[in-house]
Homo-oligomer: A and B are copies of this chain.
């Protein structure tokens, strides 16, 4: 695929607007009773009408067979090879919370969790305690945890999540997660992954030890797990590569975090899809690229709630016309991965995609679903090709070569 150096030479600024609508985890699997996926079950007259006016296809965001996390899934949709442009969970969460991360800082994503008297994890998410409660716990940790020579800060995130930031000299992010990823096990020790991180791993162990004592009586949030020790990535921005002025509208911190890494402006998104659309309309004249993220499809899929995901799709479909009335030059609807309710988690399955634009060369697809989009003109393709396709359809790319 064409690289950023070449794209940079071809990209031109024009008034045309690109709108990337991500329904998180949109791809699904057939319900065993009906043989229909969530998308095929949902009544989606507006998505189907849009598909009929579009070129469609099936995409994968990382590589065939690979189940993407949210960050690589979105990096791919933003045009970045997710295998080349990786970054830790900690940095994504930190950026999404507007936490300042400087050179040399190490940030880690934390989950408050529940452990039993033997220290065995019984709930990796501490019953998803509310954000307010996390804030109180972070206050306690910020007052009580202290390691010489290192500034230690805890920042509450959404629900049971938080970010731990270490600031000091000679820190390294090459430290392994303490989250064993399964209940019924003990938290792991923060092991150094190479010799550069020996001291950082010791610091992390000391923090875990002090925090464990401070949280002891705070059931269900009587312990925490750390994932994704990371540093600030220095990646080229969407603006630098494509000459776009990009904006992110996403209520959840993770997606804002990834968007900030690629240089998007983060707009106040509110909480609901209606809030997001209001934000889109309010800011429509100020940007030429919008990423609008919808979480509910993924959340219901992760819960294994087939009907809930169908409902989330129908909710989206109902509001779609009020997005489309802006008449953007290029509209893309897709997901960052599939989250079949039947698997109750992210999956490797390809994701339906539609692209509508004046010169998109429509195909015969008349529905937005897995089976329908498979017959589309885009074929089955890696999602990082979407960005050049969006640019081309917005007439923002000059010819390559003589």
Contacts and interface: CB of A to CB of B under 8 A. Distances in A.
A109 B402 CA distance: 10
A374 B381 contact: no
B66 A397 contact: yes
Given A361-B29, A363-B371, A381-B380, A1 B349 contact: no
Contacts of A400: 62, 66-69, 72, 82
Given A3-B83, A58-B379, A65 B388 contact: yes
B391 A65 contact: yes
A6 interface: yes
Contacts of A349: 359, 361
Contacts of A70: 401-402
Interface in A360-395: 361-364, 370-371, 374, 377-381, 385, 387-393
In this complex, the member of A30, A377, A390 whose beta carbon has the largest number of chain B beta carbons within 10 angstroms is A377
Interface in A330-359: 340, 342-343, 345-350, 359
A397 B67 contact: yes
A243 interface: no
A401 B63 CA distance: 12
B65 A385 contact: yes
Interface string A57-94: 01000111111111111000000001100101100110
A359 B371 contact: no
A30 B362 contact: yes
A354 to B, nearest CB: 15
24 contacts: A2-B63, A2-B66, A29-B361, A58-B377, A63-B385, A64-B381, A65-B387, A65-B388, A66-B392, A66-B400, A67-B397, A67-B400, A68-B399, A69-B401, A82-B400, A89-B402, A109-B402, A254-B402, A342-B359, A350-B377, A363-B371, A364-B371, A374-B377, A380-B381
